[in-house]
Structure 1
Amino acid sequence: MLDRRFDDLQAPDDFPLAILAKAPLLGRVKTRLIPYLGEQDAAQLHEQLLRQTLVVALKATSAERIVLWTALDHAHPLFLELAEHHGIALLPQPEGDLGLRIHHALLSMPGPGLVIGSDCPVLSPALLSHCWGALQNADGVFLPAQDGGYALVGTHHSNIRLFENIDWGTEHVMSQTRQRAQELDWDIVCPAEVWDVDRPEDVERWVLSCKEPPNGYA
């Protein structure tokens, strides 16, 4: 589970951070929530989660070290707004499965770095910084998610084998990734378990966890 003591930690220094995000297109994001929320609200939820993720990221590291890797519509107004307002870089995600896209983001960094998605509302600046610190003494760092996936991965030098033969989108992702790491003889650390917003109960959990209800969810 998430350890609240991370909230008291301070960032030791700036670090490279990649955020993978889709444009908030109707019917193309948060598809598992569309039967519950509808296309419009699902897209709005996706946008709000991305904005929150970026706010957290900017408190953990400098804008110059953040790259927002875009998908679906690389020139979407939301992406352009975030880049202009915050001074972050935009790069298009390549074609391929999630593993290939994560690998590409890690490979594009000049050295060690972290990759996150945009749907984990319990990420905090302190937790990101803690993961960066933990990576200094390990080959890889992960934040396993309660649904069997993971919300963060960090490596010193990415190896595509870490992301091959993974059943993306299933409860087997983290366990299969552990197997790949073992095959590579990698030492990995997992500082905390987190949760993301994919199911109706996750939306309710997110709303309850917010100090102020997200727009449209009061």
Structure 2
Amino acid sequence: MTSTRIIIMAKEPRPGQVKTRLIPALGAEAAAELAHRLLRYTLEQAIAADIGPVELCVSPSAADAYWQPWLQRGVARISSQVSGDLGARMAAAISRALNAGTPAMLIGTDCPDLTAHKLQQMAALLQTHDSCLCPVADGGYSLLGLQRFDSSLFENIPWSTSQVAALTRQRLKTLDWSWAESDTLKDIDEPDDLNGLAMSYPQLTDRLLPTPAP
């Protein structure tokens, strides 16, 4: 199978600046800790998939102290996201990989269902399609893989809304590109997502969730 780069779009988990929709349920510190655990888990799965290079494309800056231990371990390349909205940042990251001649998959850190096995499945599908997609239950997607680049996939998309996956499919159809999709996955954005996360991935929520009242 052709090597496929995995690009993880990651944000430094600073309290009050990440997982803000979970803060009412967890508090700012615990929400940031969950973001850190999700990031670490995502990186572990990407490396375990063993399908090609793994890149952490981070914000605000790869030079920040938080990223230095990750950099020193040498487990992945670390790059800084460009300025602009999410679409601009994703477009810059994946076009760089594609320009180097490597198929690539963009993923976030909010979807623990993107296991090593799932990443391997999507990389295999990408071998025979122009694109691949992992839709999530809220209408977005957790993975977008491309064999070639077109900016229309990233422009004028209302990010963080239920329209993202549907609009992306429309753009792929307009381009007359083939694409493959996984089953619908679940990402972690809202307080209602936490109980399911605790049941499926208890290691990610250990000592973070409030103890239920007797």
**Contact 1:135–1:154 under 8 Å retained in 2:** yes
Matched, 1:106 2:103: no
Give TM-score scaled by structure 1 length: 0.88
Matched, 1:70 2:58: yes
One-letter amino acid of the structure 2 residue matched with residue 45 of structure 1: L
**Contact 1:13–1:61 under 8 Å retained in 2:** no
**Contact 1:49–1:118 under 8 Å retained in 2:** yes
Partner residue in 1 for 2:19 = 30
Identity fraction in percent:
34
Give 1:80 shift. Answer: 1.6
Give 1:21 shift. Answer: 0.3
Q: How many residues align?
A: 206
Match of 1:127 among 79, 99, 118: 118
Q: How far apart, in 1, do the equivalents of 2:77 and 2:21 lie?
A: 29
Matched, 1:60 2:49: yes
Matched, 1:181 2:169: no
Partner residue in 2 for 1:19 = 8
Instruction: Summarize deviations over 1:141-184 as a string: whole Å, max 9, x none.
Output: 00000000000001011211111221100011001111111111
Matched, 1:158 2:149: yes
Question: Residues 75, 192 of structure 1: CA spacing in aligned structure 2 closer, same or farther, 3 A cutoff?
Answer: same
Instruction: Tell me the secondary structure at the aligned position of residue 201 of structure 1.
Output: helix
Match of 1:45 among 34, 48, 56: 34
Q: Structure 2, unaligned stretches of length 5 or more?
A: 210-214
Question: Residues 70, 128 of structure 1: CA spacing in aligned structure 2 closer, same or farther, 3 A cutoff?
Answer: same
**Contact 1:18–1:105 under 8 Å retained in 2:** yes
Q: Structure 1, unaligned stretches of length 5 or more?
A: 1-11
Q: How far apart, in 2, do the equivalents of 1:123 and 1:115 lie?
A: 11
Choose 81-90 or 107-116, whichever is displaced more.
81-90
**Contact 2:137–2:184 under 8 Å retained in 1:** yes
Question: Residues 54, 140 of structure 1: CA spacing in aligned structure 2 closer, same or farther, 3 A cutoff?
Answer: same
Matched, 1:97 2:85: yes
Q: How far apart, in 1, do the equivalents of 2:197 and 2:13 lie?
A: 19
One-letter amino acid of the structure 1 residue matched with residue 5 of structure 2: P
Cα RMSD (Å) of the superposition?
Answer: 1.7
One-letter amino acid of the structure 2 residue matched with residue 216 of structure 1: R
Partner residue in 2 for 1:216 = 207
Q: How far apart, in 1, do the equivalents of 2:123 and 2:158 lie?
A: 26
Give 1:213 shift. Answer: 5.6
Instruction: Summarize deviations over 1:7-43 as a string: whole Å, max 9, x none.
Output: xxxxx56421100000011211111111221111111
Instruction: Tell me the secondary structure at the aligned position of residue 28 of structure 1.
Output: coil
